[in-house]
Chain A
Amino acid sequence: MTAARCWPSMDMLRSEPMQLVQLIIPIESAHRAISYLGDLGLFQFKDLNAEKSPFQRTYATQIKRCGEMARKLRFLRDQMKRTGFLSSSWSPMGTNVNLDELEVKLGEYEAELLEMNTNTEKLQRSYNELLEYKLVLEKASQVFYSAEHNAIAQHREVEQALGEGSIDSPLLLEQEMSSEPSKQVKLGFVSGLVAREKSMTFERILFRSTRGNVYHRQVVVEEPVTDPVSGDKVEKNVFVVFYSGERAKNKILKICDAFGANRYPFPDDIGKQYQMITEVSGKLSELKTTIDIGQLHRATLLQSIGYEFEQWNLLVKKEKSIYHTLNMLSLDVTKKCLVGEGWCPTFATNQIQNVLNRATVDSNSQVGAIFQVLHTKDSPPTYFRTNKFTSAFQEIVDAYGVAKYQEANPGVYTIVTFPFLFAVMFGDWGHGICLFLATLYFILREKKLSNQKLGDIMEMAFGGRYVIMMMALFSIYTGLIYNEFFSVPFELFGRSAYDCRDSTCREASTLGLIKVRHTYPFGVDPKWHGTRSELPFLNSLKMKMSILLGVVQMNLGIILSYYNAKFFRNDLNVWYQFVPQMIFLNSLFGYLSLLIIVKWCTGSQADLYHVMIYMFLSPTDDLGENQLFMGQKFLQIALLLAALVAVPWMLFPKPFLLKKQHEERHRGQAYALLDSTEDDSFELEEHKGSRGHEEFEFSEVFVHQVIHTIEFVLGAVSNTASYLRLWALSLAHSELSSVFYEKVLLLAWGFNNIFILIIGIVVFICATVGVLLLMETLSAFLHALRLHWVEFQSKFYEGDGYKFSPFSFVSIGDDEE
Chain B
Amino acid sequence: MGFLVTTLIFLVVGIIASLCTRICCNRGPSANLLHLTLIITATVCCWMMWAIVYLSQMKPLIVPILNESE
Interface residues of A (CB under 8 A from B): 8-13, 412-413, 415-417, 420, 424, 477-478, 481, 497-498, 508-515, 518-525, 527-528, 530-534, 536-537, 540-541, 544-545, 548-549, 552, 597, 600-603, 605
The distance in angstroms between the C-alpha atoms of A619 and B26, with both chains bound, is 55
Contact residue among A8, A11, A478 (Cβ-Cβ distance under 8 Å from B49): A478
Closest to B42 in A: A416
In the complex, what residues of B have CB within 8 A of residue A498's CB?
Answer: 63-64
Whether B7 sits at the interface, judged by CB under 8 Å, is no
Q: A532 touching B67 by the CB < 8 A rule?
A: yes
Q: A508 touching B66 by the CB < 8 A rule?
A: yes
30 contacts between A and B (CB under 8 A): A8-B30, A10-B34, A11-B33, A12-B34, A13-B34, A412-B34, A413-B37, A416-B45, A481-B53, A497-B57, A498-B63, A509-B68, A509-B70, A512-B63, A513-B63, A515-B60, A518-B1, A519-B57, A524-B57, A525-B64, A531-B65, A532-B66, A541-B56, A545-B52, A545-B53, A548-B48, A549-B48, A600-B58, A602-B59, A603-B58
Whether B21 sits at the interface, judged by CB under 8 Å, is no
B2: min CB distance to chain A, Å: 8
Contact residue among B6, B37, B67 (Cβ-Cβ distance under 8 Å from A10): B37
Contact residue among A515, A528, A548 (Cβ-Cβ distance under 8 Å from B52): A548
Q: A11 touching B34 by the CB < 8 A rule?
A: yes
The distance in angstroms between the C-alpha atoms of A509 and B2, with both chains bound, is 30
Closest to B31 in A: A11
Contact residue among A10, A477, A519, A522 (Cβ-Cβ distance under 8 Å from B30): A10
Q: A544 touching B49 by the CB < 8 A rule?
A: no
Contact residue among B48, B55, B62 (Cβ-Cβ distance under 8 Å from A537): B62
Contact residue among B50, B56, B63 (Cβ-Cβ distance under 8 Å from A544): B56
B33: min CB distance to chain A, Å: 4
A516: min CB distance to chain B, Å: 11
In the complex, what residues of A have CB within 8 A of residue B67's CB?
Answer: 509, 530-532
B53: min CB distance to chain A, Å: 6
Give the number of residues in B that approach A within 8 Å (Cβ atoms). Answer: 35
B5: min CB distance to chain A, Å: 9
B10: min CB distance to chain A, Å: 11
Whether B38 sits at the interface, judged by CB under 8 Å, is yes
Contact residue among A416, A525, A603 (Cβ-Cβ distance under 8 Å from B41): A416
The distance in angstroms between the C-alpha atoms of A514 and B60, with both chains bound, is 9
Closest to B5 in A: A521
Known contacts: A8-B29, A603-B58. The answer to whether A523 contacts B38 by CB under 8 A is no
Known contacts: A549-B48, A552-B48. The answer to whether A597 contacts B62 by CB under 8 A is no
In the complex, what residues of B have CB within 8 A of residue A10's CB?
Answer: 30, 33-34, 37
B64: min CB distance to chain A, Å: 4
The distance in angstroms between the C-alpha atoms of A527 and B60, with both chains bound, is 14
Q: B38 touching A416 by the CB < 8 A rule?
A: yes
Q: B66 touching A513 by the CB < 8 A rule?
A: yes
In the complex, what residues of B have CB within 8 A of residue A601's CB?
Answer: 55, 58-59
Closest to A524 in B: B53
The distance in angstroms between the C-alpha atoms of A510 and B70, with both chains bound, is 12
Whether B46 sits at the interface, judged by CB under 8 Å, is yes
The B interface is mostly helix, strand or loop, or mixed, namely: helix
The distance in angstroms between the C-alpha atoms of A49 and B64, with both chains bound, is 76
Interface residues of B (CB under 8 A from A): 1-2, 6, 29-31, 33-34, 37-38, 41-42, 45-46, 48-50, 52-68, 70
In the complex, what residues of A have CB within 8 A of residue B53's CB?
Answer: 481, 523-524, 541, 545
The distance in angstroms between the C-alpha atoms of A540 and B53, with both chains bound, is 11
A214: min CB distance to chain B, Å: 96
B57: min CB distance to chain A, Å: 5
In the complex, what residues of B have CB within 8 A of residue A597's CB?
Answer: 55
A746: min CB distance to chain B, Å: 13
In the complex, what residues of A have CB within 8 A of residue B58's CB?
Answer: 519, 600-601, 603
Q: B64 touching A9 by the CB < 8 A rule?
A: no
Closest to A534 in B: B64
The distance in angstroms between the C-alpha atoms of A574 and B5, with both chains bound, is 38
Which 7 A-B pairs give the minimum distances between C-beta atoms? A603-B59, A512-B65, A512-B63, A531-B64, A11-B34, A416-B41, A600-B55
The distance in angstroms between the C-alpha atoms of A605 and B60, with both chains bound, is 10
Q: A605 touching B1 by the CB < 8 A rule?
A: no
A410: min CB distance to chain B, Å: 12
The distance in angstroms between the C-alpha atoms of A10 and B32, with both chains bound, is 8
In the complex, what residues of B have CB within 8 A of residue A602's CB?
Answer: 59
In the complex, what residues of B have CB within 8 A of residue A527's CB?
Answer: 64
B36: min CB distance to chain A, Å: 9
The distance in angstroms between the C-alpha atoms of A417 and B48, with both chains bound, is 12
The distance in angstroms between the C-alpha atoms of A477 and B53, with both chains bound, is 13
The distance in angstroms between the C-alpha atoms of A104 and B41, with both chains bound, is 61
Q: A508 touching B70 by the CB < 8 A rule?
A: yes
The distance in angstroms between the C-alpha atoms of A637 and B54, with both chains bound, is 31
The distance in angstroms between the C-alpha atoms of A481 and B48, with both chains bound, is 11
The distance in angstroms between the C-alpha atoms of A412 and B41, with both chains bound, is 10
Given A10-B30, A11-B34, A519-B54, list of 12 further CB < 8 A pairs? A8-B29, A8-B33, A412-B37, A498-B63, A512-B65, A514-B63, A518-B1, A531-B67, A532-B65, A533-B65, A549-B49, A603-B61
B46: min CB distance to chain A, Å: 6
Known contacts: A413-B41, A415-B38, A481-B49. The answer to whether A533 contacts B64 by CB under 8 A is yes
The distance in angstroms between the C-alpha atoms of A63 and B59, with both chains bound, is 77
In the complex, what residues of B have CB within 8 A of residue A9's CB?
Answer: 29-30, 33
In the complex, what residues of B have CB within 8 A of residue A413's CB?
Answer: 37, 41
Residue of B55, B57, B59, B60 contacting most chain A CB atoms (<10 Å): B57
The distance in angstroms between the C-alpha atoms of A808 and B45, with both chains bound, is 40
Q: A512 touching B49 by the CB < 8 A rule?
A: no
Q: B65 touching A11 by the CB < 8 A rule?
A: no
In the complex, what residues of B have CB within 8 A of residue A12's CB?
Answer: 34
The distance in angstroms between the C-alpha atoms of A10 and B29, with both chains bound, is 8
Q: A477 touching B46 by the CB < 8 A rule?
A: yes
Residue of B56, B64, B65, B67 contacting most chain A CB atoms (<10 Å): B64
Contact residue among A11, A13, A478, A525 (Cβ-Cβ distance under 8 Å from B57): A525
Q: A515 touching B30 by the CB < 8 A rule?
A: no
The distance in angstroms between the C-alpha atoms of A65 and B63, with both chains bound, is 82
B7: min CB distance to chain A, Å: 12
In the complex, what residues of A have CB within 8 A of residue B61's CB?
Answer: 603, 605
Closest to A605 in B: B61
The distance in angstroms between the C-alpha atoms of A602 and B61, with both chains bound, is 11
Contact residue among A416, A513, A544 (Cβ-Cβ distance under 8 Å from B64): A513
In the complex, what residues of B have CB within 8 A of residue A510's CB?
Answer: 65
Known contacts: A10-B34, A10-B37, A11-B34. The answer to whether A545 contacts B49 by CB under 8 A is yes
In the complex, what residues of B have CB within 8 A of residue A544's CB?
Answer: 52, 56
The distance in angstroms between the C-alpha atoms of A601 and B60, with both chains bound, is 10
Closest to B35 in A: A11
Known contacts: A416-B41, A417-B45, A481-B50. The answer to whether A531 contacts B66 by CB under 8 A is yes
